A and B are shown apart, each in its own frame.
Chain A
């Protein structure tokens, strides 16, 4: 066992904390020991939690407050603006057709992607869970795309599968059946680009949620199924509806929450699939893409961008509270 030297050499955090708190408390080995010892809980708590909490405050709470501040100023290309404009940024944001349509895009995207990913990942979990061979192999295959980035996936989707020309995989396969070539990403009527955007996210994410569902399925007691069989429930749809789904309720709530949060953050696939050397097409800009171009694009309008961010934050806060109420989040399971 090393002596107190080991404790003394344990790094800067303690040293600093010791200096800060030590002044005015007198000196002496006894005090020092008590100061360092497990008795001083407040100090120890902050020694462990402090560095993280300070960083989080600096890089989340400070930007949040700054965003609110900037949103009341005319801030073109500057981060310390002087022209106070009150609510002008908010008024022009809410009157801006492009911003409203970006919110619409997001709502549409969420309405598509959340139920689709939910159903696909649950179906994958149910199938993999009941496989009698190579279960680990199939689980790995469906989980592997999680390791792939949106940038790489968008590259494959845009330049190899849903390319608008004949050498794209989708058009090649459809060509075997005599179908015409489709310019997947630039056709907005019908909106084929949605197919591309939804499938790329599905491929990347379904495996991750499948793992969550698999974990949930493994916790369901086999006795419940036995009891259901005794009661005459047919395996399949009836047990799924009356046993499996209710037992997966907690997992489902978590999955839906994560899906919605992730849908709000959608940026990578939209940006990488739809923008090209000429810029970004006017359709299908979710809020994050819209804010990116407003705040950091040509105009660098940080005030306007911040106002958009604050509006979005309020919408998300309301949506989260409603969702939490809806699902009874935080309510204890009985």
Chain B
């Protein structure tokens, strides 16, 4: 942009107006995050004071460590469970869905389309319809309140498979042909050529799955019935519906629970955006 360029004053007003609106909206979008941290670091009196103030009068950094000492809120255990579940769900989903997506996209098979539509069809089956019988199935297997029950049924994401298939359909065939000439079979072509050249899509799907697994609520609520198997979301929810609660504890626990995601998010945001943009979801 050169300064000398003349701009229609109406256009300039429009731009300024847009900048103002977008800034106000950004502040509104950030306020909930601020409230989370504000209440988490405030004293109980400060949160419930009738003359509410935007900035807390008194910042209590000790809230950060105190919350782990409360025997009623098993935060450390819940964070451990959530981490185990989110990490294994992510690895398992990405592995299974990418293999299936590659097979569907790249290995010619007479009934490949039938299999693909059978997989795609499950996308139309909402969780509302399967959660009761899935619960029944998992309880028949004796998996209630186990990590198995919390992880394994969630590993088969038709959505992730669909995204990988779309991506691999567009993967340059020349690379694979070169691998074939070198005598590599499907398996080694996949691991040595395809995976290393597809990192962005793996990162994007992985991040989306990780966020989903970390934030999942209904399934962990239904399956994780023992305190010992609570995820962080279930633990927090149990306390928002409880009668006697320490607000500052609840808020700092919630802030701690979103911290890992915000880190993942900030580090990998580029990939998520790129991944969403190239999934071909709207093509």
Contacts and interface: CB of A to CB of B under 8 A. Distances in A.
A pairs with B: yes
A169 interface: yes
A138 B237 CA distance: 30
B212 to A, nearest CB: 10
Given A6-B188, A152-B258, A167-B47, A160 B35 contact: yes
B124 A64 contact: no
Given A147-B262, A152-B258, A320-B124, A49 B130 contact: no
B156 A66 contact: no
Contact of A145 (B29, B118, B186, B241): B29
B148 to A, nearest CB: 12
B25 interface: yes
B137 A52 contact: no
Interface stretch (B57-65, B67-75, B100-108, B195-203): B100-108
A276 interface: yes
A51 B99 contact: yes
Contact of A41 (B30, B50, B107, B118): B107
Interface residues of B, number: 94
A19 B126 CA distance: 38
B128 A291 contact: yes
A6 B188 CA distance: 9
Interface in A109-159: 124, 127-128, 130-133, 138-159
A216 B282 contact: yes
A246 to B, nearest CB: 14
A65 to B, nearest CB: 8
Contact of B126 (A38, A157, A316): A316
Contacts of A264: 126, 128
A144 B272 CA distance: 11
B115 interface: yes
A127 B246 CA distance: 41
A227 interface: no
A53 B116 CA distance: 9
A52 B100 contact: yes
A284 interface: no
B128 A265 contact: yes
Contact of A156 (B26, B36, B262): B36
Contacts of A302: 132, 136
Contacts of A52: 96-97, 99-100, 119, 156, 161
A141 B27 CA distance: 9
A167 B53 CA distance: 9
B99 A49 contact: yes
A48 B52 contact: no
A25 B191 CA distance: 29
A216 B112 CA distance: 30
Given A38-B180, A63-B137, A211-B273, A156 B188 contact: no
A282 B244 CA distance: 23
Given A7-B187, A66-B136, A151-B236, A268 B49 contact: no
B247 interface: yes
A135 B158 CA distance: 33
Most chain-A Cβ atoms within 10 A of its Cβ — which of B135, B152, B188, B241?
Answer: B241
B277 A211 contact: yes
B21 interface: yes
Nearest to A173: B52
A154 B233 CA distance: 11
B40 to A, nearest CB: 10
18 contacts: A45-B108, A49-B104, A51-B100, A56-B158, A60-B156, A67-B133, A127-B25, A142-B29, A145-B32, A147-B258, A148-B261, A149-B214, A150-B215, A160-B47, A215-B276, A261-B126, A306-B132, A312-B126
Given A59-B134, A159-B250, A214-B277, 4 more contacts: A159-B39, A267-B218, A276-B243, A291-B131
Q: Which 4 A-B pairs have the closest CB atoms?
A: A48-B103, A63-B133, A149-B215, A52-B100
